[in-house]
Chains A and B, each alone.
Chain A
Amino acid sequence: MPLTLYVATPSVLHRLHPVTKLGLLVAFIVASFMVDRPLLLLPLAATVGGLLVVAGGLPNVRRLRVMFLLVFFFTLFVWTLFYQSVLVPTYAGFLFGLSTAIRLATFLAAGILFLSTTRVEEVAYALGRLGLPYTIGFTLTLAFRLVPVFFDAALSVVQAQRCRGLEFGRGGVVARLRRFVPIIVPVLIGALRRADRMAMALELRGFNSGRPRTTYLRARAGPADALAGTLAFATAAVYVGLWAAGIGTLTAHP
């Protein structure tokens, strides 16, 4: 089971500089919080959706469709019934719910767009370029690499203990919690042992070699980055402008 959203088939978006991709993500999120009117949010949602198509990220959206639908309709439903009232549907509530639902869906889609086109190493690299210390970025990368390994080990442990008659669903809270000990101990000890070996393997590969580190991958930004960066900036600027002019808020235009 793939645990990451990265789409291996490269697209124009994949080839953008990691910092540009991070910039696009931030621009879309900022823009989506600037206005409340559903009509004004739609172009933004459409842009993100279009880019998802370009990036080949639609299968990821399909994978997470339940989450999308849940978030969208739950938000719409709750705000419609509870906006300035309790359990009474209002038109204002419906509008606000709709805008919040679109905003959250856009927000999610922008995140998926980012993760579909950006490897965790690129995220670390982008954060590094923005001043985050290398070790923090590297730890992030390592964590991503270890998630599936950890997951597999935990699955084995659960099965191994089931074979010894361990059942989870019985007894009171304390008894249930106690039953996690036979799961957590082997998983943790296994992780510690592996971490030990990993530390050795890291140094064998020259981590801490005492020589200055070089950077090989994607250090250069191209014309596409200039274009994407401009678009990101323009999008955020337009939406901030709408907000500053008071155009985007619902109360001004009921």
Chain B
Amino acid sequence: MSGSAAAIAVRDLGCTYAGAARPALDGVTCEVPAGALAVVMGATGAGKSTLARCLTRLVPCFLPAELRGEIRLLGQAIDGARVGELAGTIGMVFQDFEAQLFSTDVTQEMVFALEHTGVAPASIPERVTRALGAVGLAGFEGRDPTTLSGGEKQRLAIAGLLALRPPIMVLDEPTTDLDPTGRAEVFDVLGRLRAERLSLLVIEHDTAAAAEADLLVLLRDGRILASGPPAALLADVEACAAAGVRPPDVSRVFAALGLPSPPLDVVAAADQLRARGFVPVAPVELPPPAPPGPALIAVRGLGHRYPDGRRALAGVNLTIGRGEFVALAGPNGSGKTTLAKHLNGLLAPTEGRVTLDGRDVADLPLETLAQRVGYVFQDPDHQLFAATVADEVAFGPRNLGLAAAEVEARVTEALAAVELHERDADPFLLDKGARQRLAVASILALRPDVLILDEPTTGLDFQEQQRMLGLLDRLHAAGRTIIIITHTPWVIAEHARRVVLLQGGQLRYDGALRPFFADERLAAEAAFRPPEVTHLGRLLGCTPLTVAELVTWLGRGA
């Protein structure tokens, strides 16, 4: 092991999973210098996770595959190693933090890896303290992991590996299931690990995270599409799009205005635009928001207490009209999901009431509610169970006791709406985006007036997100009322017409998008960040919601 060896050196790596027709990785060559942060991006199926799993030997030890090429960690070839043998060399965390915690107490969780790799008990307390401190969990020693927030759980999973002091850490979408607060916590930890000169390889969907990296690798179909410093790659809107990555807003604005080399930093971008004489001219009179249709759902004085006495919602008043597109925002634990579950009777109010077309939701039978207010859960795997796609969609209509011909008509209609054409496919073999759309179809088949979706874009790549949002836009245009719970600012800005912000179980904001995103104090208090383009616009004195808007306004001014 020489001091100058790269932390990770991959040469001509190929990987074909057992039984797969095409390779998951093909001819991948890349090098992560010691102490560097490398970010890997790409669409679902591009081979990102496969690369991470090859580095830790999960492939082929857990997932049988044929490997070609060579992987060296700190100069040492790892072929033939077992996963456990590499535990002190390379650590890896992934999206599902629940699956990475095994104990009923934080100290036990921390000690686990140390005991299993034979670390002398005398040195354990110091290692535990250091690792917990490194992820900002000092003082959590006696806590039960089930009582931690998502961000805390993920940081505990990281700490459990850090205790082994591996020089290399791989993080496979560590923040996908977290809210903005949790994401910020994990990114903060990454910054600290970097300062301690750990070599990091991070798989991420968010370009904001990639901007910080020393090296960005774009994968497509198992091959490296491009790799290099993030400033150059993220400036290339087309390269990002080709890799299935959402290009940064600043890059899109610069590209649309024909300006070269966009900076990664929004403040710098605003300075450059100003220096070039770009002054946005926003229309003096913004088009007035469409008046809400007749009230469909009315929430009055809604309060909810859990059986253990915790207050989840208090004094919420909300009226949703027919045909609205509402985004429910707020940090985790703010009551978004609790509120949404009251709208279709999954939860009963402990105070106040919810009415649908003037009738108390609590009095409506299940079949009626299912046909009026559809609810798509965040994880499609919480509802898929049938052997075929068509059977899955038919389940709801059959529960309603509809005739076979009617069931068939509804299945065809719902599958067409979500653009799923493999009627006989096994739902469990579809990719995540298709499973998510199937879950929507299975609710659409009930023909509800209102569609509630809990984080419909979480865990999807950019193309799948666009597809899901396009579907929602179409349903909205066809007259359906859409309510989405989301953490993603650009999803709200580009698709919703109204935003409802909850904080600590209370309504903090309810109204149009532009004033919402313009209110910096509100955003700071609710740990909410406006989309990058809105931030850029604010620095220039306007509040655009989309790149197209800002470009038009700047074009007029130039």
Evaluate contact between B83 and A216: CB separation under 8 angstroms: no
Question: Bound complex: CA of A211 vs CA of B385, how far in Å?
Answer: 42
Could you list some 8 contacts between A and B, CB below 8 A?
A149-B98, A162-B366, A163-B370, A165-B399, A186-B381, A205-B87, A205-B112, A206-B164
The reply on A210 being an interface residue by CB < 8 A is yes
Minimal Cβ-Cβ distance residue in A for B384: A186
Given contacts A182-B395, A186-B381, A186-B384, 13 further A-B contacts (CB under 8 A): A141-B102, A157-B383, A159-B341, A163-B374, A163-B375, A164-B395, A165-B371, A198-B99, A201-B157, A203-B82, A208-B82, A208-B83, A214-B121
Evaluate contact between B102 and A209: CB separation under 8 angstroms: no
The reply on B230 being an interface residue by CB < 8 A is no
The reply on B92 being an interface residue by CB < 8 A is yes
Minimal Cβ-Cβ distance residue in B for A154: B382
Instruction: State which of A121, A144, A156, A197 has its C-beta within 8 Å of the C-beta of B382.
Output: A156
With A156-B382, A186-B385, A203-B61 as contacts: A210 and B82 at CB distance below 8 Å: yes
Evaluate contact between B83 and A200: CB separation under 8 angstroms: yes
Instruction: State which of B84, B118, B346 has its C-beta within 8 Å of the C-beta of A163.
Output: B346
Chain B residues within 8 Å of A, Cβ to Cβ: 56, 58, 61-62, 82-85, 87-88, 91-92, 94, 96, 98-105, 107-108, 111-121, 124, 142, 144-146, 157, 160-161, 164, 307-308, 341, 344, 346, 366-367, 370-371, 374-375, 377, 379, 381-385, 395-396, 399-400, 428, 442-443, 446
Residues in B with CB closer than 8 Å to A210 are 82, 84-85
Bitwise interface map of A from 101 to 122 toward B, beta carbon under 8 Å scored 1, else 0? 0000000000000000001110
The reply on A185 being an interface residue by CB < 8 A is yes
Question: Bound complex: CA of A161 vs CA of B91, how far in Å?
Answer: 38
Question: Bound complex: CA of A83 vs CA of B61, how far in Å?
Answer: 63
Minimal Cβ-Cβ distance residue in A for B112: A205
Evaluate contact between B385 and A119: CB separation under 8 angstroms: no
With A156-B377, A156-B382, A186-B383 as contacts: A204 and B87 at CB distance below 8 Å: yes
Evaluate contact between A164 and B88: CB separation under 8 angstroms: no
What's the nearest-Cβ distance from chain A to residue B78, in Å?
14
With A159-B341, A216-B121 as contacts: A142 and B102 at CB distance below 8 Å: yes
Q: A124-156: which residues lie under 8 A (CB-CB) from chain B?
A: 141-142, 144-145, 148-149, 153, 156
What's the nearest-Cβ distance from chain B to residue A118, in Å?
11
With A214-B121, A217-B111 as contacts: A200 and B58 at CB distance below 8 Å: yes
Residues in A with CB closer than 8 Å to B105 are 119, 121
With A156-B379, A209-B87 as contacts: A215 and B446 at CB distance below 8 Å: no
Instruction: State which of B108, B161, B379, B385 has its C-beta within 8 Å of the C-beta of A204.
Output: B161
Q: Among A148, A210, A214, A215, which residue has the most Cβ atoms of chain B within 10 A?
A: A214
Question: Bound complex: CA of A164 vs CA of B346, how far in Å?
Answer: 12
The reply on A8 being an interface residue by CB < 8 A is yes
The reply on A166 being an interface residue by CB < 8 A is yes
Residues in B with CB closer than 8 Å to A161 are 383
Chain A residues within 8 Å of B, Cβ to Cβ: 1, 4, 6, 8, 119-121, 141-142, 144-145, 148-149, 153, 156-157, 159-167, 181-182, 185-186, 189-190, 193-194, 196-217, 219
A-B contact count (CB 8 A): 181
Minimal Cβ-Cβ distance residue in A for B366: A167
Residues in A with CB closer than 8 Å to B104 are 4, 6, 119-121, 141, 144-145
With A164-B446, A165-B370, A206-B116 as contacts: A199 and B341 at CB distance below 8 Å: no
Minimal Cβ-Cβ distance residue in B for A8: B142
Residues in A with CB closer than 8 Å to B142 are 8
Residues in A with CB closer than 8 Å to B161 are 204-205
Evaluate contact between B383 and A145: CB separation under 8 angstroms: no
Question: Bound complex: CA of A163 vs CA of B442, how far in Å?
Answer: 10
What's the nearest-Cβ distance from chain B to residue A142, in Å?
6
Minimal Cβ-Cβ distance residue in A for B146: A148
With A209-B85, A217-B108 as contacts: A181 and B385 at CB distance below 8 Å: yes
Evaluate contact between B396 and A145: CB separation under 8 angstroms: no
Residues in A with CB closer than 8 Å to B116 are 205-209, 211, 213
What's the nearest-Cβ distance from chain A to residue B119, in Å?
6
Question: Bound complex: CA of A213 vs CA of B101, how far in Å?
Answer: 19
Residues in A with CB closer than 8 Å to B341 are 159
Residues in B with CB closer than 8 Å to A141 are 102-104
Evaluate contact between B370 and A182: CB separation under 8 angstroms: no
With A163-B344, A163-B374 as contacts: A145 and B102 at CB distance below 8 Å: yes
Q: Ordered nearest first, which 5 A-B pairs have the shortest CB separation?
A: A165-B399, A206-B87, A185-B385, A211-B118, A209-B84
Question: Bound complex: CA of A207 vs CA of B161, how far in Å?
Answer: 12
With A119-B108, A164-B442 as contacts: A207 and B144 at CB distance below 8 Å: no
Residues in A with CB closer than 8 Å to B344 are 163
Instruction: State which of A4, A164, A181, A203 has its C-beta within 8 Å of the C-beta of B84.
Output: A203
Evaluate contact between B383 and A205: CB separation under 8 angstroms: no
Question: Bound complex: CA of A215 vs CA of B118, how far in Å?
Answer: 8
